[in-house]
Chain A
Amino acid sequence: MEYFEPKSVGDALSLLSKHGSEAKVIAGGTDVMVDIKFKEEPGCLVNIKKIPSLTGISESGGSVRIGALTTIRDIETNAVIREKLPVLWEAAHQFASLQVRNTATIGGNICRASPSGETLTPLLVLEANAILAFSDGERSEPFKSFFQGPGKSAAGVKGLLTEIEVPIPPAGSKGVYLKHAVRGAMDIAMVGIAVMLTPDAGKNNVQDVRIGLGAVAPTPLRAPKTEALLRGKPLTAALIKEAGALAATEASPISDQRSSAENRRWIVEALTRRGLEQTWKAATGKEVA
């Protein structure tokens, strides 16, 4: 196995162009090291951790920019994330264990493109963008079109995720990330759901709502029919019930060792209801009518 430590994004891209699908990018390593041990060694390992420009969190012009090599722990302990992007903070806080959070990077969690990736549904409901570098230039890809299947993303084999650009949600909106797993720590979600809700000025109706579903389809996904059902209406108990049932139909879960598909649909229904109740109450100060 060949091994490289590029010092710049340009050098990393040259290596990826040269080695193509033989090359594997490694950052924190918490997933890739397991693959190397239990699946197969790549032909060439490209360790991007020596590229200094890819780490850090900054806020400007209504957005937060997060370098792809920023660790999950650095996201969890960052004051801007806690205050401006609490839905992402919640996912970081529930991510694996402290040891893994100290090593794993947000870029790795994203490029792994696992349907259960903890940070992915929050990024979907935040309508964040992946900043991707290719040898012929940079482009911004919304996360709604970034994920193409388990382990497959718009970065492909020759692109590099360098940054995540997250628009700060409008004042008055509230988000929540709900994870259902057997164990609190170190467990993969059976279902993970992110909900972001913005009430209208009078706090009487849902102005905007975004629902992200994780671990219930080949990619994390939004629930557009459920969102459309809710927009412009007051959030009543009857509407929440209808929304939960509709969200369950927007998922296409599989049965595996963690859960049956049927159970996953029930959990989608329950967590969607819970997420709507919690965000409505937090955003309006009112109980659901």
Chain B
Amino acid sequence: MSVTINTTINGKAVSASAGASTSLLEFLRDTLEMKGSKLCCNTGECGACTVIYNGKPINTCVTMAADAIGAQIITIEGLADGDKLHPVQQAFIDTGAVQCGYCTPGFIMSVKALLDRTTKPTPADIEEAVSGNICRCTGYNKIVDAIHLAADKIAGRA
């Protein structure tokens, strides 16, 4: 049984059909051909598929595509303004916070959601914000550096 998904992704209205048990991640990657959100654990544990859903970071692999109906969704594809990267993306490059890169889109979406809430995150805020994102290259220190740098850039402190 299929469902018509009318939703807004990165500010653009989208309409497409999806199977009732299709995950939002499958809908993004396979129906809409948006491959930036990554399929990894597929059980909601690793955060590689994180998008911002009505302002909040969620795991799309355990969200029904049908729950996108009427929602506002931001994916990694929606961050850059043309060739100009979002400050969080640029900070990950500037601090070398990327190793294999597979977890990076998910981390960047969690960090964007954090910095949308506050541009002065405490160490506890940062830990909480990315506690659901796993980097198996284990490059966490540079990711934390990137978060501080991005916060400073967005707040005009750097």
* CB-CB nearest in chain B for A37: B42
Interface of B is mostly: mixed
- Bound Cα distance A238, B58 (Å): 47
- Bound Cα distance A185, B61 (Å): 18
A100 interface residue (CB < 8 Å to B) = yes
Enumerate B1-57 residues with CB–CB distance to A below 8 Å.
1, 3, 20-21, 23, 42-45, 47, 50, 53, 56-57
**Smallest beta-carbon distance B1→chain A, Å:** 5
| Cβ B1 vs Cβ A98 within 8 A | no
**Smallest beta-carbon distance B154→chain A, Å:** 19
Enumerate A38-85 residues with CB–CB distance to B below 8 Å.
38, 41, 45, 47, 49, 73
Within 8 Å CB of A184, what residues of B?
Answer: 131
What does the 1/0 interface line of A179-220 toward B look like (CB < 8 Å)?
000001110000000000000000000000000000000000
- Bound Cα distance A73, B110 (Å): 15
- Count A interface residues, CB 8 Å: 27
- Bound Cα distance A213, B35 (Å): 43
What does the 1/0 interface line of A151-188 toward B look like (CB < 8 Å)?
00000000000000000000000000000000011100
| Cβ A2 vs Cβ B131 within 8 A | no
B129 interface residue (CB < 8 Å to A) = yes
B132 interface residue (CB < 8 Å to A) = yes
**Smallest beta-carbon distance A18→chain B, Å:** 16
Within 8 Å CB of B116, what residues of A?
Answer: none
- Bound Cα distance A185, B110 (Å): 15
B89 interface residue (CB < 8 Å to A) = no
- Bound Cα distance A29, B59 (Å): 10
B72 interface residue (CB < 8 Å to A) = no
- Bound Cα distance A26, B63 (Å): 10
| Cβ A99 vs Cβ B58 within 8 A | yes
- A33-B64, A184-B131, A185-B132 as given contacts; A102 in contact with B47, CB under 8 Å: no
| Cβ A47 vs Cβ B57 within 8 A | no
A36 interface residue (CB < 8 Å to B) = yes
**Smallest beta-carbon distance B134→chain A, Å:** 8
- Bound Cα distance A33, B45 (Å): 13
Q: Which of A26, A41, A98 contacts B132 (CB 8 A)?
A: A98
B62 interface residue (CB < 8 Å to A) = yes
Enumerate A74-124 residues with CB–CB distance to B below 8 Å.
96-100, 102-103
B143 interface residue (CB < 8 Å to A) = no
B94 interface residue (CB < 8 Å to A) = no
* CB-CB nearest in chain A for B57: A99
Total A-B pairs, Cβ < 8 A:
83
- A5-B66, A29-B67, A186-B132 as given contacts; A100 in contact with B21, CB under 8 Å: no
| Cβ B131 vs Cβ A33 within 8 A | no
* CB-CB nearest in chain B for A26: B64
- Bound Cα distance A184, B130 (Å): 12
What does the 1/0 interface line of A14-30 toward B look like (CB < 8 Å)?
00000000000010011
* CB-CB nearest in chain B for A49: B67
- A3-B20, A98-B132 as given contacts; A103 in contact with B45, CB under 8 Å: no
* CB-CB nearest in chain B for A184: B131
- A34-B44, A34-B62, A47-B64 as given contacts; A99 in contact with B21, CB under 8 Å: no
Within 8 Å CB of A5, what residues of B?
Answer: 66
| Cβ A98 vs Cβ B57 within 8 A | yes
Within 8 Å CB of A3, what residues of B?
Answer: 1, 3, 20-21, 66
A289 interface residue (CB < 8 Å to B) = no
- A99-B47, A99-B132 as given contacts; A29 in contact with B1, CB under 8 Å: no
* CB-CB nearest in chain A for B21: A36
**Smallest beta-carbon distance A77→chain B, Å:** 11
**Smallest beta-carbon distance A52→chain B, Å:** 13
B128 interface residue (CB < 8 Å to A) = yes
A contacts, CB < 8 Å to B: 1-3, 5, 26, 29-30, 33-34, 36-38, 41, 45, 47, 49, 73, 96-100, 102-103, 184-186
**5 A-B pairs whose Cβ atoms sit less than 8 Å apart in the complex:** A30-B44, A33-B64, A34-B44, A45-B20, A97-B132
Q: Would you list the 3 A-B pairs with minimal beta carbon distance, nearest first?
A: A97-B132, A3-B20, A185-B131
